[in-house]
């Protein structure tokens, strides 16, 4: 008897996929990484059930940054002069029609990057750049190396110490240019360099440079005069200046975050306003939104692309509709945090799936809000003064036996 091997193989493959699908379990996992305002530590909490997973002791109080993949979190300890890598324990693998999730215990990655006054920390396409203000040096490392516990970073130097920034951009590096006449003031522009730091071309003017973000395939730097918008060019990055609209009042953006799902930027503009920026147009690129009181912190929603959230000094969390350019809802969460300096213990916001989480450092709790109904759902106690916060997680399949 002749066997139709193609048919037999197809049947076997079908049965294999059917069995695999039948034994796959859909899992949702979210973790919160929270630094303390005073103590040198990061607390890791399961955002789903509230269980404390671990506490990592550091060398100094830290600001936190998560990678785009969510596989790593970095604790930038400015006063202690070090950046510490943490493996989040959550990773994803895309299989087209579905994604697999792998959940392990969080742990210190075993990689520290030391230097004088680390400040801005920027990721682009899996490369991480830590800028050390006290040296005017960027140290760049891949996320892959961090996860392997390898301190394989390279250095790119600028001409002087500065409160600067660097972005590893493919085979190039974008470096802030120090103010040579007044070295203690903010940088004056961006210079394109090769991987070794050798300059390519001239300086792209960006007075009072402070703040950078990515949205989709666009990178932007905030300047006193507008934005520098960076896209892929012919061999080198293409950089253009997007000036502030004449209709805007006096002011500037110094903090930028990039939209997820929708391509836009959200920035501060004065103490009690934020601005929505469309980087793809030349006119009507800026929409100013007034807030009831001075802002404290703001984030975009990575799940519900049309929303961002702004926390203001009166203790309110505001849901911002970025499509309409207006505040859609407001919710009182904490006592007022008025007249505070940026470095004082004031609330920070993160989004973990269907939950918005706001730190309340003076009360030692996290305020929890349902992102769908925009209603408060409870509190979660965290020892100390929970301050900076980032979330990592999502949903995926875990196959039986893995």
Reported as a single tens digit per residue, the pLDDT across 185-242 is 999 999 999 988 899 999 999 999 999 999 999 999 999 999 999 999 999 999 999 9
180: helix, strand or coil: coil
- For residue 21, is pLDDT > 60? no
- For residue 112, is pLDDT > 60? yes
For the chain, the average pLDDT equals: 92
Region 121-136 average pLDDT:
97
- For residue 25, is pLDDT > 70? yes
Q: Answer for the pair 112, 75: CB distance below 8 angstroms, yes or no.
A: no
| Res. 344 pLDDT band, cuts 50 70 90 | confident
Distances (CA, A) of 328 to 163, 290, 306, 317, 319: 36, 13, 11, 11, 6
146: helix, strand or coil: helix
Distances (CA, A) of 262 to 27, 186, 211, 258, 282: 26, 30, 20, 9, 18
**165-177 pLDDT, tens digit each:** 999 999 999 999 9
Q: Answer for the pair 287, 296: CB distance below 8 angstroms, yes or no.
A: no
Strands 52-57 and 172-177: unpaired
Region 7-32 average pLDDT:
59
Q: Answer for the pair 73, 389: CB distance below 8 angstroms, yes or no.
A: no
Global pTM?
0.92
Region 342-370 average pLDDT:
95
Strands 355-360 and 365-370: antiparallel
- For residue 2, is pLDDT > 60? no
264: helix, strand or coil: coil
């Amino acid at each position: 008897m002749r066997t139709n091997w193609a048919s037999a193989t197809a049947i076997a493959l079908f049965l294999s996929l059917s069995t695999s699908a039948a034994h796959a379990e859909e899992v949702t996992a979210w973790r919160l990484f929270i630094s303390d305002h005073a103590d040198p530590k990061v607390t890791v909490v399961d955002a789903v059930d509230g269980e404390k997973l671990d506490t990592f002791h550091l060398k100094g109080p830290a600001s936190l940054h998560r990678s785009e993949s969510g596989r790593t979190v970095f604790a930038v300890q400015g006063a202690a002069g070090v950046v510490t890598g943490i493996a989040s324990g959550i990773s994803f693998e895309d299989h087209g029609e579905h994604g697999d999730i792998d959940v392990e215990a969080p742990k210190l990655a075993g990689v520290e990057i030391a230097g004088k006054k680390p400040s801005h920390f920027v990721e682009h396409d899996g490369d991480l750049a830590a800028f050390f203000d006290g040296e005017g040096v960027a140290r760049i490392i891949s996320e892959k190396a961090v996860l392997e516990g390898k301190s394989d970073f390279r250095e790119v130097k600028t001409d002087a110490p500065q409160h600067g920034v660097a972005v590893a951009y493919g085979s190039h590096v974008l470096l802030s240019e120090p103010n040579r006449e007044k070295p203690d003031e903010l940088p004056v522009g961006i210079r394109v360099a090769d991987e070794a730091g050798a300059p390519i071309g001239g300086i792209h003017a960006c007075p009072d440079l402070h703040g950078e973000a990515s949205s989709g395939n666009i990178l932007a730097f905030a300047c006193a005069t507008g934005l520098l918008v960076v896209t892929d060019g012919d061999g080198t990055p293409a950089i253009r200046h997007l000036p502030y609209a004449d209709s805007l009042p006096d002011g500037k953006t110094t903090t930028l975050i990039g939209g997820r799902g929708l391509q836009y930027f959200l920035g501060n503009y004065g103490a009690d306003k934020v601005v929505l920026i469309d980087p793809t147009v030349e006119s009507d690129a800026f929409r100013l939104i007034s807030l009831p009181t001075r802002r404290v912190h703001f984030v975009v929603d990575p799940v519900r692309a049309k929303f961002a959230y702004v926390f203001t000094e009166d203790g309110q969390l505001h849901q911002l509709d970025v499509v309409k350019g207006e505040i859609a809802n407001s919710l009182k969460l904490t006592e007022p945090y008025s007249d505070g300096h940026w470095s004082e213990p004031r609330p920070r916001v993160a989004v973990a799936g269907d939950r918005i989480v706001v730190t309340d450092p003076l009360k030692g709790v996290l305020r929890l809000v349902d992102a769908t109904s925009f209603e408060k759902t409870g509190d979660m106690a965290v020892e100390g003064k929970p301050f900076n916060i980032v979330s990592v997680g999502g949903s995926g399949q875990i196959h039986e036996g893995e």
